[in-house]
Amino acid sequence: MHRNSVPTSFIEEQDFLDAAMARRDSLTAHLRAELELDAADAVELGRQRMLRRQYEELRRAGEGLVFGRLDATDGSTLHIGRIGLHSDDEPLLVDWRAPAARPFYTATAVEPQGQKRRRHIRTTGSVVVGVDDEPLSATPGHDGDLGLVGEGALLAALDQRRTGHMTTAISTLQREQDDIVRADATGPLIVQGGPGTGKTVVALHRVAYLLFTYRQMADRAVLVLGPSPRFLDYIGQVLPALGETAVVAATCDTLLPGVTVERAESRTAAEIKGRALWQGILERRVAALTPGPRELKMRWDGDFHVIPATAVAQALTSATQGRSYHRARAVFAEQLHQLLADAIAEQRETLMEEMERGYEDILSRIADTSTGASRSDVDGLLSEEELEELRERIADNATIARFVESLWPTLDPGTLLREILVDTELLATELTPAEVATVTAEPAPWASSDIPLLDALAELLGERDGEQPRPQGEFTADRARGQRDWVYGHVVVDEAQELSEMQWRMALRRCPSRSVTAVGDIDQAEAAHRHTSWAQAVRAVLGDRWTAAELTICYRTPSEVMELTGPVLALAGSHNTPPRAVRSSGVLPWQLAVTAADLPGVAAQAVQELQQRWEGGTVGVIAPASRIPELRAVLGDVPLMTATQSKGLEWDATLLIDADGISAEPRGHNGLYVALTRCTQELGRLTVS
């Protein structure tokens, strides 16, 4: 297209994009040259790590580098982008996370915040392909019929075909979303949001915001907990696209290094083992394994030495104060070595005193005629150097080590948990006879509900002497990923309504400061636990010390589909108001009745037709667990899953098979609510007669 025929706004923004891309390319080239130099020392190595983070942020920022502009009433202009850029010490591009960029997400015609216009800029690579201006005057009607910020740009983004992976939304975040993204990170924040409200988008963009705002947080990394590996793959490109790599993504099942889930379990067993009361059971068992105070008789060089019970009691009290089982054991062993060394020295001094009473003259002559004799050679007292040498010999002595092991054995969390899970007497202190029978009947391989119990035991026991060395790596996330006891700067929990009380404890253990963001929809809860409100879900671990936030607008699911959810929510026992849908796809949900025999063939045909209608997008199929095998045989690589597995995912079109069958599953109406709301455009339903 000839430049003269291009709108002025396009020319302005293309010129600016060219300048921003040139500056980015210049900085990238400079950093690349710096990184090619060898690091001379540890300081230089640390500097290169910082430069590499900057380089990766610049490298990933090429697509969508510039996406917005604010024109203020004072005549100033700010361009908003994926990253911040300076030229000649002057700001060229403002990072979307910076305070100066906030009016881009929050200014309205009613509250313009000193702005007269917001401009959304759409780009493909280094080319401007769209410019949408939004006046921010107080003229009625300019705030959008739907009360949205950048309504045109938002609806255009929502109508795009789905690719099977979540993308960033930094150019279209809405005000209620931005409020949560930028909320303080000083305590637990729990965000309730129905389907399509952007819970996951908000959580991930909050991570990017926090890492930008609190630079020290990157030194500890951020943990993102999702409901499934499929979900983590779906969101896996968002944070790297935002330039953030100090992030560890995991599920509750994969959070404990070296431990994997090996079997399924009943919902009854999962509910029982998910209760917070297990923390007390485990603590009591570990405490019972700590030795009590008693007199100890220890042998050294053929002689027995008695350590009084009072001295042992003092050593135990000192060692166990605020320490894990194995750390307390190590401290106690050191103190026991000292007590034994003192006892040996005291016995030697006593023997020498007895000898002195009969042989003072002989010893005196020995002292007069010997050269280089130490005091202990004469009077039996050990010097500090000799006493320290004795302590070291005791600490290295295999016999003494065996004595300590018999007194205070080292423990393996897995072995100990297997013992606890069949200890009917211990379990009966907290569980009913029927519940004890359920737990003790479980097979040996680890199930999902065992992982939080293992984690709790591992924390109570602590590391043993000689444990595997800490994992090393150039990046913080690499080191954090391999350490069970790594302390993160922040933890994000997605689909948090599914966590059991023990899983909550496992998550909070990774962040003692409780800087946590949890997002979810309590009405979509399908897990085995019994809670139906956030207060019930977190009371055992957080009490009342958490902040609530809510997302009320549904951006993804079209209004035609959301109209179907009210009766389902009522059957699920919900007291919440469904989110308000702000868009229509223009496609009414359809329904077709088929026989069980015809179902596989009809499903395959329906999927093919949906794929043709939404070419370039995605189609997903949701069905009861019992129908998955027969459908998989005819659907090939089409995404096919249960309602639980579909949580957090989205497609252009969804084929929902046998809604009655889904409703009949445990917490089935909650599952059906999830299944109905996965599409962005079209919902088809096959009912089985």
From the annotation, which residues make up the binding site?
A: 193-200
| Among 210, 259, 220, residue whose Cα is nearest residue 506 | 259
Q: How far apart are CA 319 and CA 331, in angstroms?
A: 5
53-77 as b/e, with b when 16 or more CB fall inside 10 Å? bbbbbbebbeebbbbbbbbbeeeee
Annotated binding-site positions for ATP: 193-200
537-552 as b/e, with b when 16 or more CB fall inside 10 Å? bbebbbeeebeebebe
For residue 334, what are the contacts with CB-CB under 8 A and spacing of at least 6?
395
Strands (E) across 264-322 are located at 296-300, 303-307
DSSP SS3 for 392: helix
Q: How far apart are CA 239 and CA 232, in angstroms?
A: 11
Q: How far is CA 248 from CA 62, 480, 505, 571, in A?
A: 24, 7, 18, 38
Q: How far apart are CA 412 and CA 198, in angstroms?
A: 42
For residue 152, what are the contacts with CB-CB under 8 A and spacing of at least 6?
120, 132, 134
Q: How far apart are CA 471 and CA 481, in angstroms?
A: 9
For residue 265, what are the contacts with CB-CB under 8 A and spacing of at least 6?
442, 447, 448, 449
DSSP SS3 for 86: strand
Sign of CA dihedral 365, 366, 372, 373: negative
Q: Give the phi and the psi of residue 212 in degrees, each rounded to 5.
A: -75, -40
Residue whose entry in the numeric block shows the structure tokens 């897995």: 414
State the distance between the two ends of the chain, measured CA to CA, in whole angstroms.
Answer: 58
The neighbouring-strand residues paired with 249 are 224
For residue 4, what are the contacts with CB-CB under 8 A and spacing of at least 6?
none
Strands (E) across 227-333 are located at 247-250, 296-300, 303-307
Tokens of 122: 């759409």
Q: Are 169 and 205 in contact (CB under 8 A)?
A: yes
Residue 260: exposure state from Cβ atoms within 10 A (0-12, 13-18, ≥19): exposed
The neighbouring-strand residues paired with 656 are 622, 685
Q: How far apart are CA 254 and CA 257, in angstroms?
A: 7
